[in-house]
Structure 1
Amino acid sequence: MAAPPDDDPEVALVHPNFAEALRVYARIGWLSFGGPAGQIALMHREFVEERRWVGEATFLHALNFCHLLPGPEAQQLATWIGWRKHGLRGGLAAGLLFVVPGALVMFGLSLLYVTAAGLDWFTALFLGIKAAVLAIVVEALIRIAGRALKTPFLRGVALAAFFALAAAGLPFPLVVLSALLLGWSAARWRPDWLKLAAGGSDASPPAGSAWRQSLSAVMLWGALWAAPMLLILATLGRGHILWDIGVFFSQLAVVSFGGAYAVLAYMAQEAVNGFGWLRPGEMADGLGLAETTPGPLILVTQFVGFLAAWRDAAPFTPLFAALLGGALTLWVTFAPCFLWIFSFAPWIDRLERSAGLKGALAAVTAAVVGVIANLALWFALHVLFRRLERTRWGVDLPVLESVDPAAALLTILAFILLFRVRLGIIPLLAICSAGGLLLDFG
């Protein structure tokens, strides 16, 4: 699949050779800390400002396109840039090198987690991490809300999404699909409710070969996505945990608009209450580990798959089963990302001009604010209180006398460090972890 020539008129662009591109993609993969905002800023500096591989307008144009897709937008943007410069092999190289460093680190951290679990010092260390994660999620909520909730309609979508999840217990995919439909309808009939930015690309529509490229990509990557699931079905059957892991995270890959924070509460609900893979609070541990690794935060799914298979390993050893579970989770999480990019990249200009798609994206982004608010509430309850009680309406409420003083103190520290001192994510996690150890040994 050939990429189009990069003819951005804004700057005299540089076309690197493939070996040079590989070195830059690997460097970005190992340095991409700080979540999507930091990762996108890093790529903008590398590709637009310093190396001039992509023009400013083209970069922003592609970023908007990636926001339309489910999955981690930073990884998909890296994949698109690789495709833009060197076609299919460039997209594969850029996308894989964005994920592989963090995945390797996450495998090591997940193994440490399961082998050290139960030790007092380890529990104390992760109490500090959970407190830091709660502050990080609240900061993400404030940042995204400020950017996304531009109109009363969008604020209403966010509020409805929050209550649909927190009070009504509706499934996350239903919330996302409802927001898509609301946004598309508003863009068609009441665009003033959305205040969408005008404009779009002036480029000509895709050539006829775009259909052939898209269909080829769908067939190839659809087959690759399904291949390990067919192997599991033929050898282990539907009753094995690897089948459940593959099916669940394949479904999640289709509805994961808004990044890791948006799907985490739904993932936690299913992994803890639905499948019984994790214990309450372990999802916060997983996100804390993901925050310390390079690459997309959605690598927290790898942690879940690793733990799930470790605890239900038959007929394998726990370590081998966990490696299979983590690898399968990575496969079904990121194979769809390549499918979306390689299928839709030839149509980027037409998609950018679609008011309906822009409206759908705006409403989904608003709904994500409500989803992250639900996640923040879920984390707060599980971090700050030792015991929750289910009401007759199906809502978990905290038992006030079960508040954890150490967790409350560490949470206050985390909020001060993040919102007042403006500390970075890695130092924040380190200081809060050390605080948990000090409180435990004190």
Structure 2
Amino acid sequence: MSSVGNLKEIGSLFFRLGLVAFGGPAAHIAIVHKEVVVKRKWMDESHFLDLMGATALIPGPNSTEMVLHCGHHRGGLRGLVLAGVSFILPACILSGLLAYLYTEAVKIPNFSDYMIGVKPVVLILIFQALKKLAPKAIKNYSLAFVTLITFALCFIGVNEFISLLVGGSIGLILGLYKGDTRVKSFPLLSIFYIFTKIGAILFGSGYVLITYLQKELVENRGWLTNSEIADAIAIGQFTPGPVLSTSTFIGYLLGNSTGALVATVGIFLPSFVFVYFLNPYIPKLRDSLKFSLLLDGVNAASMGLMAFALYPLGRISFLHPGALIIFLVTLILTWKVPKLSTVYLVSISILLGSILTFFNIGQQWP
């Protein structure tokens, strides 16, 4: 097939996946594997696994970086750019639209009361992500210690990047020691800087993004509230594609459509750069013992960051007794129907919150 034909195939495939890829990074990578390795045979299993390992060595959204690697493998630099834009664009457009509707909806009297069911569901989503990722990241007692140290550092107010760096370094040192072989208006330049910085240092699952957003936008600058961050993360679950498309939503809250564009470009740009420069060195990196030990430490530390995100969200999630009711209902649903789509889960929580608010149930604690 000609290079033009390759590019058309790349664009078509990843745009379609960007429209239907719900379920988070692990699900996205499974879908990409099925399409690229099993169905189209662009590469073999071993090379796909090498690419997966490489994405974990660099910051940024893992599933998006896998898409970028596959695009580069099939179509070079043009394939990398086309695959990334095709995969990211649908989610970002939908997130921007939802952000516009959200800013209009807050004008509705008592709108926040109708949204009481959203924040508890965010807690469940983080719990689910931790349940899936923690067993892979925390493979021994040393890495469990790294997770706890990172959580503790965040709890006492240490910068999240410093916490992650310390956790990763401790993991490396312990591994070597043991001989282990395993719509407001804010400056656009500031918005771009914040989201580019996050995109350049974000290790682990996209859900770790919550911790960075809370630190940068709530604690450091006071531009948003914890409640607004929770709403953005939850409503962002309506969209397929990368979890980091939530940045489009938050960018809109900070600077309307221009802010949404700036935040989106900022958070995804580092991934394009990292993948482009890393791709030729993947065969060498996979054989590096020290890199693998450092990676284990960073992955375990990211679990600590994700767990810490539960703390500030939990404090604002149960301000109304109705929120506790919705939390219990959705928790039972996820237990009984573990494969229930995130879209359905968030939709059910909003519906329950609206019903309880309409009938004035559970609005105040006794």
TM-score, length-scaled by structure 1:
0.76
Corresponding residue for 2:204? 258
Q: Which moved more, 1:252-261 or 1:82-91?
A: 252-261
**Alpha-carbon deviation of 1:294?**
1.5
CA distance in 2 between partners of 1:240 and 1:129 (Å): 26
Q: Which residue of 1 aligns with 2:223?
A: 277
> 2:21 and 2:5 mapped to 1: Cα distance?
21
Q: Residues 275 and 89 from structure 1, CA distance in 2 versus in 1: closer, same or farther, beyond 3 angstroms?
A: same
Q: Distance in 2 between matches of 1:148 and 1:181?
A: 15
The equivalent position to 1:414 in structure 2, one of 326, 330, 352, is 330
Q: Which of structures 1 and 2 has the bigger CA Rg? A: 1
- Could you say what secondary structure the match of 2:309 adopts? helix
- Counterpart code for 1:100: L
Q: Secondary structure at the match of 2:262?
A: helix
Distance 1:143 1:20 in 2: 32
For 2:206 and 2:90, the matched residues in 1 are separated by 18
**Cα shift at 1:377:** 2.1
Query: What does residue 223 of structure 1 align with?
Result: none
After superposition, the C-alpha distances for 1:44-91 in whole angstroms (9 at most, x for unaligned) are: 111111222221111111011111110101011101101001101111
Q: Choose from 252, 255, 280 the match for 1:346.
A: 280
Q: How does 1:89-168 map to 2 (within 5 A)?
A: 89-120=78-109, 122-166=111-155, 168=156
Shift in alpha-carbon separation, 1:261–1:21, aligned structure 2, 3 A: closer
Matched residue type, 1:328:
V
Q: Give 3-state SS (helix, strand or coil) of 1:281's partner.
A: helix
Determine the C-alpha separation between the residues in 1 that align with 2:110 and 2:34.
40
The runs of 4+ residues in structure 1 deviating greater than 3 Å are: 186-189
CA offset digits 1:5-49 (Å, max 9, x no partner):
xxxxxxxxxx96332232112111111111101111111111111
- C-alpha distance in 1, partners of 2:125/2:31? 20
Matches for 1:26-65 after TM superposition, within 5 Å = 26-65=15-54
Distance of 1:19 and 1:280 partners within structure 2 = 42
- Contact 1:183-1:362 within 8 A present in 2 as well: yes
**1:331 is aligned to 2:265:** yes
How far does residue 243 in structure 1 lie from its aligned partner after superposition? 2.1
Partner of 1:314: none
Q: Is the 8 A contact 2:194 2:216 kept in 1?
A: no
Residues 36 and 74, structure 1, Cα contact 8 Å, conserved in 2? yes
CA root-mean-square deviation: 1.8
Separation in 2, partners of 1:50, 1:347: 27
| Offset, 1:281 | 0.9
Residue 424 of structure 1: aligned partner: 341
Contact 2:105/2:111 (<8 A) preserved: yes
Q: Do the aligned partners of 2:70 and 2:80 also contact (CA within 8 Å) in 1?
A: yes
Is 1:370 aligned to residue 359 of structure 2? no
Question: Which of 41, 50, 69 pairs up with 2:58?
Answer: 69
1:434 pairs, out of 351, 357, 362, with 351
Cα 1:135/1:263, change in 2 over 3 Å: same
Letter in 1 for 2:10: A
What pairs with 1:231-310 in structure 2 (closer than 5 Å)?
241-309=187-255
C-alpha spacing 1:361/1:98, structure 2 compared with 1 (3 Å): same
How many residue pairs get matched?
Answer: 353
User: How far apart in 2 are the matches of 1:435 and 1:35?
Assistant: 24
8 Å Cα contact 2:118/2:349 also seen in 1 = yes
User: Hey, what's the Cα distance between the residues in 1 that align with 2:273 and 2:227?
Assistant: 33
Q: Which has the higher helix share?
A: 2
Percent identical residues: 29
Shift of 1:330: 1.1
Deviates more, 1:412-421 or 1:16-25: 16-25
Query: Using the alignment, how far apart are the partners of 1:358 and 1:125 within structure 2?
Result: 47
Partners of 1:75 and 1:42 lie apart in 2 by: 12
Task: Could you tell me which runs of 5 or more consecutive residues in structure 2 were left unpaired when the two chains were aligned.
Answer: 360-366
1:81 — aligned with what?
70
Gaps of 5+ in 1: 1-14, 197-238, 310-321, 386-403
Counterpart-to-counterpart distance in 1, 2:27 and 2:97: 23
- Given that 1:188 and 1:355 are in contact with CA atoms closer than 8 Å, whether structure 2 keeps it comes out as no
Conserved in 2, the CA contact under 8 Å of 1:179 and 1:360?
Answer: no
Offset of residue 120 of structure 1: 4.3
Secondary structure of 1:108's counterpart equals helix
TM-score of the superposition, structure 2-length normalised?
A: 0.92
Question: Residues of 1 paired with 2:7 and 2:251: CA distance?
Answer: 34
Q: Which amino acid aligns with 1:262?
A: V
Q: 1:359 aligns with which of 289, 293, 296?
A: 293
Greater CA drift, 18-27 or 429-438: 18-27
Contact kept, 8 Å, 1:16 with 1:53, in 2: the verdict is no
Distance across 1 between alignment mates of 2:219 and 2:311: 17
Superimposed CA distance per residue, residues 338-392 of structure 1 (whole angstroms, 9 cap, x where no aligned partner): 100001100011111111111111111111111111111221111113xxxxxxx
- 3-state DSSP of counterpart to 2:226: coil
Q: Distance in 2 between matches of 1:123 and 1:139?
A: 25
Say whether the 8 Å CA contact 1:176–1:255 is kept in structure 2: no
Q: Distance in 1 between matches of 2:47 and 2:109?
A: 52
* Alpha-carbon distance between aligned partners in 2 of 1:125 and 1:56, rounded to the nearest angstrom: 47
